[in-house]
Amino acid sequence: MPGPIRNAARTRARILKIATSEFATKSFDGARVDRIAARARVNKHMLYHYFGSKEGLFTAVLEEMYGSIRDSQQEMSLAELPPEEALRQLIVQTHEVILAHPEFIGLLNSENLMKARHIRESAMIRQLYDPLIPGLRAILERGAEAGVFRAGIDPVDLYVSIGSLCFHAISNQHTLKAIFDVDLTSKAALERRLDHVTQMILAYCRAEFGSASQPAPPQRLSAIGN
């Protein structure tokens, strides 16, 4: 390790890195400030010096995480791709958040447990998602015009589903393993899952050809027993 013995930026970064893993695996309440300090080989006071409180540290971890997600995605420009390829890339991109940032899902779970109060108060994080829905809407409209997607798909519904399909299998990996005895985290399983998700989302979006699907969304499902 080069540089001087004392280095604020390096110490801060080391705390953040360890805190990310601690919060992701133990959630906010299960995380221990003492353990973070020990694992980061840092006196506990440094942690309070840089981040004010356990809660402040958690917020910093979240912002750092979202920041690095943004950095890895900003090169993408889905607007120029043909609609189906753009949608595929959006799915790949969502899926790759998991590969690049395995702690993200744990942090998201923890944040939901706290009713998302940190994200609600972080303008930066909310801004990150601003272009997403309009962008997806544009893709869907272009696809509908080109006849490859059916019309009337809601972009929020669709993005929630993409997120569901990509994240749930990982965030619930342990219960799924316990019940179905499958490992969903191996490289092979993740690739397989990405294919599956892509096929499912595209099947839903594609224009209808035959009479196989019933195009009446407002109709309620019939309960068999009645």
Partner DNA sequence: CAATTATCTAACTAACTTGTCAGTTGTTAT
Partner DNA sequence: ATAACAACTGACAAGTTAGTTAGATAATTG
Interface positions with DNA (CB under 7 A): 4-8, 10-11, 31-34, 42-46, 48-49, 53-55
How far apart are alpha carbons 170 and 193 in whole angstroms? 10
Report, in Å, the least distance between residue 108 CB and DNA.
20
Question: Within a 10 A sphere around the Cβ of 17, how many other Cβ atoms?
Answer: 15
CB-CB neighbours of 56 under 10 Å: 14
Going by C-alpha positions, the residue among 43, 47, 96 that lies closest to residue 73 is: 96
Stretch binding a second copy (CB under 8 A), from 4-12, 35-43, 46-54, 115-123: 115-123
Shortest Å, Cβ 203 to a second copy: 4
Which of residues 72 and 109 has its CB atom nearest to a second copy in the complex?
109
168 binds a second copy, rule: CB under 8 A: yes
Does residue 47 belong to the site contacting a second copy (CB under 8 A)? Answer: no
CB of 66 to DNA, least distance (A): 22
Specify which residues 149 forms β-bridges with.
Answer: 206
Pick from 188, 174, 20: which is nearest to 104 by CA?
A: 20
Question: Residue from 111, 135, 140, 190 that binds a second copy (CB under 8 A)?
Answer: 111
How far apart are the C-alpha atoms of 68 and 78, rounded to whole Å? Answer: 19
Q: Which is nearer to a second copy, 5 or 223 (CB)?
A: 223
State in angstroms the smallest separation of the CB of 28 from DNA. Answer: 9
Specify which residues 206 forms β-bridges with.
149
Q: Is 44 in the site for a second copy (CB under 8 A)?
A: no
Nearer of residues 45 and 187 to DNA, judged by Cβ = 45
Out of DNA, a second copy, none, what residue 146 binds, judged by CB under 5 to 8 A for its kind, is none
- Residue 127 contact partner, candidates a second copy, DNA, none, CB within 5 to 8 A by sort of partner: none
Closer to DNA by CB, 48 or 204: give it: 48
Provide the strand spans (E) within 37-96.
none
